[in-house]
Amino acid sequence: MRFDSRRRQLGPGPTIGCLAVAMALLLAAPVAAHETGRKLTDDELVARSSNIVRGRVTNLRSEWSLDGTHIYTFVDIRVDESLKRSIPGNRLTLRLLGGAVGEIAMTVLGTPEFERDEEVLLFLEKNTRSFFPTVGRHEGKLTVATDAQTGGKRVEASHRPSETLQNFRSRITGLVASQAARQSAGGGFTPSTAP
């Protein structure tokens, strides 16, 4: 977590609270980094996701927590397609720790970034209102973009190769189906731990 020091200070109450949150997350960072030192496989992303959806960011807003100690960013998503479990009402709101309110900014490393009107593919944790609602933090958020040469849609992210939306969707829905079949047969699924 990083606070922008060029921004104005809040005063003693919120500043101490913000520093306490920052210290708690910084102390937990070595454990989190150790546990996430390698990229998740698609099998692991699917297995750890309660929902996998494709949709569009309709709104972004940041606001202070009720106690004034940290900033949350709320990301509203219109769900256009569910690849694993549907979302009631085809709308959801993600709550992320960090953001900017007025002249104060708070950044949490590894948190996915969103843009208004961006088309996204999301691997969501069971609680879509948690600090990091995407599986593997930034790994669980992919951007769907239009290929300038072909006009087709591609799935893109800085941590993986670009590929067509059709190929990606086919592979992920195949993994969802095979994991569901194994679970119904009593085999369950244990994600691979190999690098």
CATH assignment at residue 24 = 2.40.50.120
Domain-located, residue 192: no
Structural domain tally of the chain? 1
Reading the chain (195 residues) residue by residue, the pLDDT tens digits are: 544 444 434 444 455 454 444 444 443 443 343 344 688 999 999 999 999 999 999 999 999 999 999 999 999 999 999 999 988 899 999 999 999 999 999 999 888 999 999 999 999 987 655 556 889 889 999 999 999 999 999 999 988 999 999 999 999 999 999 998 888 887 665 554 444
CA 60 – CA 143 distance, rounded (Å)? 16
CA quadruple 60, 120, 162, 123: dihedral sign? positive
CA 79 – CA 94 distance, rounded (Å)? 12
* Domain around 120: 2-29+41-184
Domain-located, residue 20: yes
Domain-located, residue 34: no
Domain-located, residue 119: yes
Domain-located, residue 158: yes
CA 101 – CA 91 distance, rounded (Å)? 24
Report phi then psi at 167, rounded to 5. Answer: -65, -45
Instruction: Quote the pTM value.
Output: 0.76
